[in-house]
Amino acid sequence: MSLEQKRRLVTELPGPRSQELMERKLAAVPGGVGTTMLVFAARAAGGIVVDVDGNHLIDLGSGIAVTTVGASAPRVVAAVTEQVAAFTHTCFMVTPYDGYVSVAETLNRVTPGDHDKRTVLFNSGAEAVENAVKIARAHTGKDAVVVFDHAYHGRTNLTMAMTAKNMPYKHGFGPFAPEVYRAPGSYPYRDNGLDGRAAAARAIDQIEKQIGADNLAACVIEPIQGEGGFIEPAEGFLPALAAWCRANGVVFVADEVQTGFARTGDMFACDREKVIPDLIVTAKGIAGGLPLSAVTGRAEIMEAPHAGGLGGTYGGNPLACAAALAAIETIEADGLVARAREIEAAVISRLRRLQVEDNRLGDVRGRGAMLAVELVRAGTAEPDPRLARDVARYAHQRGVIVLTCGTYGNVLRFLPPLSISDDLLDDAFDVLAAAFGEIR
């Protein structure tokens, strides 16, 4: 690694240079774009972000599950450097190039199922989700889309309609796209022990009564919900829903934008219960930090849109494609799926130890390196967003980048890069343990 993998603070946080930049940001960038951290980045490598004042911070966020292979992963840097010197853009729809086709072939190989597949590339997760809906509508000739409580699918007009939470994603930004319906999901901590099959039956009953399979083009679901609170549905929920979709001519779309590419201790979260989605949407961890997203799916569905119906100026940009090939090679060559499971074992055992001593840690959950703790008022299940905010702030001031999420804003989530060292993880969770000790 090009940077020493150690937390080291040389100023108070935020330091003077960061404060100066924050003043410029406030005058130049609208306040609608918030920042988790008050420090500005200068460099990053592996599990360390160095700020403009020279402080070394531990990264438990990976830029929201993006730098899964580590910041500035060596293979990604080399591949992008070579590509940028060759050409930066031709537009795949004008003069195509190998990198795009190679990424499509790679995604067709690594995504769940060994059926005939096609892949189309875009820039952002939201853009890919929108295109998955377009493809499902073209294939089925139907309009309606069903999504779930606590879902997050993006911030564009269609994906705002698909996202559940009003503040901050939707408030004042309507009217929203029509024909988007919401069904109950599976939230084991708050479901009173409803098992996966029963939760699926509840969702399917509502879908049949309120929408009707004959009107429904697609069911879009995150196999583990991300922004909504790292909610892992009870076992059996996803397979039952996928089976109902198949039996009823509804395209089953897995939004694996956050869960994909080894993050959850499988290459894709759907792999755990052997669910094979008709379409799978990927982004975030796909390209080591470069903007790229994809829709991959059954050839007969993907071929439904007419010639020229899919695309975009930058979709499958050559730099992003080079980065994706290098990132996926890194995941496979460095055994990062197994590494994610090691991280799970280490972090979950620490969180459970904390939970035994502190009943404000209501639920410890997640898989691989997508882990979370839901915070509640002592001895109840009442959400405590203030505690989540205070613990996060305590960690930020001590050089640990940690994110919150959840419909109630009361979930601390951990998304370390899979290349992070055990020492960095230990140090970061020592800081978090101290936070729970000090904050009452």
Nearest CA to 250 out of 160, 148, 133 is that of 133
CA distance 370 to 198: 25
- For helices 336-357 and 318-333, the axis angle rounded to 10 degrees is 70
Cβ distance 195 to 236 under 8 Å?
Answer: yes
CA distance 182 to 151: 9
Length of the chain: 440
Q: What would the two tokens of residue 13 be?
A: 């946080």
372 is a site residue for ligand PLP (CB under 6 A): no
Q: Is 27 or 33 the residue whose CB approaches ligand PLP more closely?
A: 33
The interface region with ligand PLP, picked from 12-20, 219-227, 332-340, 384-392 by CB under 6 A, is 219-227
Helices marked H in 69-228 — which ranges?
Answer: 74-86, 98-110, 125-140, 157-162, 196-210
Q: Is 152 or 187 the residue whose CB approaches ligand PLP more closely?
A: 152
CA distance 284 to 292: 8
Q: Is 270 or 424 the residue whose CB approaches ligand PLP more closely?
A: 270
Q: Is 194 or 254 the residue whose CB approaches ligand PLP more closely?
A: 254
Among 47, 196, 226, 297, binds ligand PLP (CB under 6 A): 226
CA distance 202 to 336: 36
Sequence-distant (6+) residues with CB within 8 A of 1 are 45, 46, 48, 70
Give min distance, CB of 191 to ligand PLP, in A: 21
x/- binding map, residues 121-150, to ligand PLP, per CB under 6 A?
---xxx--x---------------------
Give min distance, CB of 254 to ligand PLP, in A: 10
Q: Is 148 or 152 the residue whose CB approaches ligand PLP more closely?
A: 152
CA distance 351 to 439: 16
Residue nearest to ligand PLP (CB): 125
Give min distance, CB of 203 to ligand PLP, in A: 18
Among 53, 59, 232, 255, binds ligand PLP (CB under 6 A): 255
DSSP label at residue 232: P
The interface region with ligand PLP, picked from 4-12, 152-160, 181-189, 208-216 by CB under 6 A, is 152-160
Q: Is 48 or 151 the residue whose CB approaches ligand PLP more closely?
A: 151
Number of residues that bind ligand PLP (CB under 6 A): 14
Nearest CA to 173 out of 163, 160, 164 is that of 160
Among 51, 130, 222, 271, binds ligand PLP (CB under 6 A): 222
CA distance 250 to 279: 11
CA distance 336 to 330: 8
Among 257, 275, 321, 372, binds ligand PLP (CB under 6 A): 257
154 is a site residue for ligand PLP (CB under 6 A): yes
The interface region with ligand PLP, picked from 23-31, 233-241, 250-258, 416-424 by CB under 6 A, is 250-258
x/- binding map, residues 278-297, to ligand PLP, per CB under 6 A?
-----x--------------
160 is a site residue for ligand PLP (CB under 6 A): no
Give min distance, CB of 261 to ligand PLP, in A: 12
Give min distance, CB of 128 to ligand PLP, in A: 8
Give ∠ CA 72-77-79 in degrees, rounded to 5: 150
Q: Is 53 or 374 the residue whose CB approaches ligand PLP more closely?
A: 374
Task: Give the helix/strand (H/E) hosting 350.
Answer: helix 336-357
Residues 302-321 contacting ligand PLP, CB under 6 A: none
Give the CA count within 13 Å in the CB-facing half-sphere of 329: 15
Q: Is 108 or 293 the residue whose CB approaches ligand PLP more closely?
A: 293
Residue 175, phi then psi, degrees to nearest 5? -75, 155
Q: What would the two tokens of residue 396 be?
A: 């930020």
Distances, alpha carbon 31 to alpha carbons 74, 172, 218, in Å = 35, 15, 35
Among 40, 148, 152, 244, binds ligand PLP (CB under 6 A): 152
Q: Which residues of the chain form contacts with ligand PLP (CB under 6 A)?
A: 124-126, 129, 152-154, 222, 226-227, 255, 257-258, 283
